[in-house]
Amino acid sequence: LVQLSMPLNFMGMIYREIKQALIDIDDMFQILHRNPEIADRPDALPLAVSDGVVRFENVRFAYDPARPILRGVSFDVPAGRTVAIVGPSGAGKSTLSRLLFRFYEPQAGRILVDGQDIAGVRQASLRAAIGMVPQDTVLFNDTIGYNIRYGRWDATPAEVRAAASLAQIDRFISALPEGYDTPVGERGLKLSGGEKQRVAIARTILKGPPILVLDEATSALDSFTEREIQDALDTVSQGRTTLVIAHRLSTVVNADEIIVLDKGVIVERGDHATLLEQDGVYAAMWSRQREADAALEILQRNEDVV
């Protein structure tokens, strides 16, 4: 028995180490986009966040020099405000969030947080200041409570519940027979796209970062789920500087400023009402989206009937 338990203990140790390694890397988003070419400068200082103002200054960027993606983009996200980026697929919207996390560096221009060029600050301090609600949330094969606590390890069970409640997922979890101890992931409960997104929102509420990036899911959610998620996102973005990468327009109506990006340049900017009045690119996108939503609703209603 002793002979058998030794290798088992050893395997347990390896398993724990692998799991720890996963946890230590702050986020799957970071794993997916890690870029070994970006290193801290020897004189890099920690980012000092005061208000959380984000500024893009004439940013130019290309993954491949032959194909420019951003061609001189400038905008500000004032402290505590929400700016939404919209535009056709491939316009470069998500690229802006990757640059803000410094997974890549602009070829020209600067990105500033509270007046500090992010190229000169320590990456760990930059990423600690920014919360990300990604398009696809990766869940660990552990309990749902563990997956929420991932936002801040020292959170108490009451804080985990409060965050889940703000993210509108507490009721769902509490109704499960094992509650917060329910295993999720490959060998446990499978969560829907909307539920996973709410877990990500709860994590972010626990982390409590001054700056928030919401990379909205591209896949269409039913309108009830979408409204619930929107309420949760509104709660989490309250009082935080928020950049929304919007793939659907229904979520940007209340943004302080909407930036329309096309082929790497800003073609329109303003709030929802102003842009509708202008009757330009945004207004055309808005009416197309409304038609698509109406068609989807009819389809869903027919499915319900069948």
Q: Are strands 54-61 and 108-113 parallel, antiparallel or unpaired?
A: antiparallel
Could you give the CA distance from residue 250 to residue 256 in angstroms, rounded to a whole number? 14
Would you say 92 or 194 has its CB closer to ligand ATP?
A: 92
What's the closest the beta carbon of residue 72 comes to ligand ATP, in angstroms? 15
Amino acid at 79: A
Would you say 55 or 263 has its CB closer to ligand ATP?
A: 263
Spell 175-199 as b/e; 16+ CB within 10 A means b: eeeeebeeebbeeeeebebbbbbbb
Residue from 80, 101, 128 nearest 237 by CA:
80
Would you say 94 or 204 has its CB closer to ligand ATP?
A: 94
Could you give the CA distance from residue 301 to residue 281 in angstroms, rounded to a whole number? 30
What's the full length of the chain, in residues? 306
What's the closest the beta carbon of residue 264 comes to ligand ATP, in angstroms? 8
Alpha-carbon Rg of the chain, whole angstroms?
21
CA distances from 4 to 11, 17, 103, 212, 218 (A): 11, 21, 45, 49, 49
- Which residue intervals of the chain are DSSP H helices? 2-24, 28-33, 93-100, 123-129, 144-149, 157-166, 170-174, 193-207, 223-237, 272-278, 281-305
What's the closest the beta carbon of residue 85 comes to ligand ATP, in angstroms? 8
What's the closest the beta carbon of residue 101 comes to ligand ATP, in angstroms? 13
Would you say 11 or 38 has its CB closer to ligand ATP?
A: 38
For ligand ATP, the binding residues (CB under 6 A) are: 63-64, 69, 87, 89-95, 247
Please give the structure tokens belonging to residue 48.
């000092």
267 burial type by CB count under 10 A (0-12 exposed, 13-18 middle, 19+ buried) = middle
What's the closest the beta carbon of residue 91 comes to ligand ATP, in angstroms? 4
Would you say 20 or 89 has its CB closer to ligand ATP?
A: 89
Would you say 229 or 261 has its CB closer to ligand ATP?
A: 261
Backbone angles phi, psi at 208, to 5 degrees: 60, 50
What's the closest the beta carbon of residue 63 comes to ligand ATP, in angstroms? 3
What's the closest the beta carbon of residue 31 comes to ligand ATP, in angstroms? 14
Would you say 69 or 244 has its CB closer to ligand ATP?
A: 69
